[in-house]
Amino acid sequence: MKKLRSQHYILLVVSIMAIFAAATAYFFMYNDAMKKAQEEANVQASVKAASKHTMDVENMKTIYNETAIGRAQLPSFIISLSDAVPFIDAVEAVGPASGSTISISSLSSGTADNSSNGLVTATISAVGTWPNVLRAVEMIEDMPYAISVKNLHLDVLSSSGSSAAAPRWTAAMDISVLSSS
């Protein structure tokens, strides 16, 4: 092997330094490119989230506008504890409309199980012929209040001895209605 001249040492050192400089420059450029790609992905995710949020807001506005009539009627479906008379009158009006006799044997207020929702509970009975009693039950269930029927008992009353008269039926039901204080 021939001895390297001193010029060759300089060239070898310069080439090693150039390789090191190129590797260092590549490392920094690669890291910078990765940071910019990550920042761009974050910006795109933020834009997508903002766009979804804007769409959600528009959907909520649409739903809000579409339910305006229903929301205006909502207070009429809930009984005010200070003014239960319209509810009692509405229940009693079912009697003549269905051809049966309606009576409210109890009316009380409280809260629903496992919640703080106010409830008015009532025990209602209807007496009449089979179709009239069923119509009364149906009309009570369909009243414009948030009514839940808890118990419904239908019984035939003993006939009065006359075979020509239709048997009389009785319906007893426990209902609960949402209330506000």
- For residues 56 and 117, membership in a common domain is answered with no
- pLDDT band at residue 181 using 50, 70 and 90 as cut-offs: low
8 Å CB contact between 170 and 127? yes
Domain final position from 66, 94, 120: 66
Domain final position from 13, 38, 66: 66
Report yes or no on 112 lying in a domain.
Answer: yes
**In the chain, how many domains are there?**
2
- For residues 23 and 103, membership in a common domain is answered with no
Q: Which domain holds residue 16?
A: 1-66
CATH number, position 114 = 3.30.70.60
Torsion sign across C-alpha atoms 178, 179, 180, 181: negative
- For residues 109 and 176, membership in a common domain is answered with yes
Picking from 111, 95, 115, the residue whose alpha carbon sits closest to that of residue 103 is 95
Tens digits of residue pLDDT in 55-75: 999 999 999 999 988 888 777
8 Å CB contact between 40 and 47? no
Q: Could you tell me how many helices (H) and strands (E) the chain has, helices first?
A: 4, 5
Tens digits of residue pLDDT in 160-178: 555 667 788 999 999 988 8
- For residues 115 and 176, membership in a common domain is answered with yes
Whole-structure pTM value: 0.57
Checking if the pLDDT of 3 tops 70, the result is no
